[in-house]
Structure 1
Amino acid sequence: MKISLIQMKMTFEDMEHNFKKAEELIRLAAKENPDTIALPETWSTGFFPKENIKEFCDQNGNRTKRLFSKLSKELNVNIIAGSVINEKQDGIYNTSYIFNKQGECIAEYDKTHLFSYMGEDQYFEKGSGITVFELDGIKCGIVICYDIRFVELVRTLALQEIKILFVVAQWPMLRIHHWQILNEARAIENQIFVACVNSCGRAGETIYGGNSALIDPWGEVILRASNQEEIITGNLDLSIVEKIRDTIHVYKDRRPDLYQY
């Protein structure tokens, strides 16, 4: 699978600008003829408006769905639409939407682990389940930013036999070393590809660190972005997943009978 990661520098709290820019960047990425394009977390607002947060919500993701349904069908590309601040009947969520090449919204995921250090848990509801989906017949999973620190969540997805994990994030420059190590570790321990896309630039007082990457199941970095706005595109040789699993038997040799809390 050929994947393009859009390391977008959004303008904090300017949804009109960010929706327009996201479309421009997706059209630019599509010129590389990728199978899949991915955006970062909360690309439409930055992470995250606290004053009058409801003004920055995409009601039931309707605006996001309209735009990316149109673009994915027109450009014949799968789109991982990062995540947006999404108001549902029971509260506000940090939600990712996934679109196939036919323009269908085939899956959505509400962030399950909320970053209490920045007060995310005070403004958002927690998601209640994992999300697994297929793109071009390839089983994939998705997590959002802080989720990558939780090994149980990624292993649960891996046990659903995913081959690619998409990670959409707003990860700060201050902890970019953690970003690199955590994504590489999740790839190695679960024997999966990781496509992790971060933002860059500033939102409020926080500077975001870029370093989006494509990582293979050996933990080798296929491509890594800088800390500036850019698009990186690379190919994933999915045949190596089974070769690695036939070599190092982490799934056959695991001991779930001992993994009790």
Structure 2
Amino acid sequence: MKWTISCLQFNISYGNPSENFKKASRLIEAESRRSDIVILPELWTTGYDLMRLDEIGDDEGEQTKKWLQQTAKANDVHIVCGSVAVKKKSGVYNTMYIADKHGQLVKEYSKAHLFQLMDEHLYLSSGSADGSFELEGVKAAGFICYDIRFPEWVRKHTSKGAGIVFVSAEWPLARLDHWRTLLAARAIENQCFVAACNRSGKDPANEFAGHSMIIDPLGHVLSEAGREDTVIRAEIDLDDIEKTRGHIPVFEDIRKDLY
């Protein structure tokens, strides 16, 4: 089976959910004609307006979930809905939603690792569930930005069969080299496809790297953006996952007696 995956890289309007919903809707409507799956960046409704998340975050994620399900069904496309700030009684969470093309919500994952360098731990609560899900019977996993610096967290999902890793991010330009290297490493060591959507542009405190990427299980870059607003896409052959894992049987050779 083959899928076309698209990463929708755009400059997020800082602290303006209404404008960002409009941007995302336009992009998805245009790209759905070419793609089976689209993925959005991290915190795409608000940006890193962390001090106002109590005000502009989405109560229980209700607005986002309703929009996501309607948009996926109307455009007949699977959506990895980046992540949004979700307000709950227990705190504000950086949460990724996934909906299938029929408008069914198939996964909710809240960022497990909070990035202290950008003060996330001061304004956000960390999630405690995994990012595993399935689309059309295909096992996949979702991660958010800083999560990719924890290879054991990604391996937990791929060792259970995930063959596609989706990453949503607001990764700064200052660490662009890390972004590209870490994504390639996660693809190679887990013998999986990686589709990573970063944002473009800047906010009052940060300039972001862009360079959304789609990488195959051998680490080959199938498509990569620059720093500008853009959409990248690539067709992937899901049979390549098992072919790669069969050729170099990493998962069979894990020394469970040692680690």
Q: TM-score range by the shorter chain?
A: over 0.9
Residue by residue over 1:211-253, the C-alpha shift from the partner in whole angstroms, topping out at 9 and shown as x without a partner, is 0011000000000011100011111111111111111111111
The CA distance in 1 between the partners of 2:246 and 2:85, in whole Å, is 41
- Report what 1:39 is aligned to: 40
User: Which one of 20, 23, 29 corresponds to residue 21 of structure 1?
Assistant: 23
The CA distance in 1 between the partners of 2:182 and 2:158, in whole Å, is 15
CA shift, 1:159, in A, is 1.0
- Report what 2:229 is aligned to: 229
- Unaligned 5+ residue runs, structure 1? none
The CA distance in 1 between the partners of 2:124 and 2:118, in whole Å, is 12
Contact 2:53 2:92 in 1 (8 A): no
When normalised by structure 1's length, the TM-score is 0.96
Secondary structure of the structure 2 residue equivalent to 1:209: coil
Which amino acid in the other structure matches residue 41 of structure 1?
E
Which amino acid in the other structure matches residue 157 of structure 2?
L
Secondary structure of the structure 1 residue equivalent to 2:98: strand
Residue by residue over 1:60-105, the C-alpha shift from the partner in whole angstroms, topping out at 9 and shown as x without a partner, is 1111111111110011110001000001121110000000011011
Residue by residue over 1:170-207, the C-alpha shift from the partner in whole angstroms, topping out at 9 and shown as x without a partner, is 00111011000000000000000000000000122201
- Report what 2:71 is aligned to: 71
- Report what 1:103 is aligned to: 103
CA shift, 1:50, in A, is 2.9
- Report what 1:143 is aligned to: 143
Which amino acid in the other structure matches residue 74 of structure 1?
A
The CA distance in 1 between the partners of 2:50 and 2:163, in whole Å, is 36
The CA distance in 1 between the partners of 2:41 and 2:92, in whole Å, is 19
Secondary structure of the structure 2 residue equivalent to 1:236: strand
Which amino acid in the other structure matches residue 42 of structure 1?
L
- Unaligned 5+ residue runs, structure 2? none
The CA distance in 1 between the partners of 2:107 and 2:153, in whole Å, is 17
Q: Give the fraction of aligned pairs with identical amino acids, expressed as a percent.
A: 41
Q: 1:134 and 2:141 equivalent? A: no
- Report what 1:166 is aligned to: 166
The CA distance in 2 between the partners of 1:143 and 1:95, in whole Å, is 10
- Report what 1:86 is aligned to: 86
Which amino acid in the other structure matches residue 158 of structure 2?
A
Relative to structure 2, which stretch is displaced further, 162-171 or 249-258?
249-258
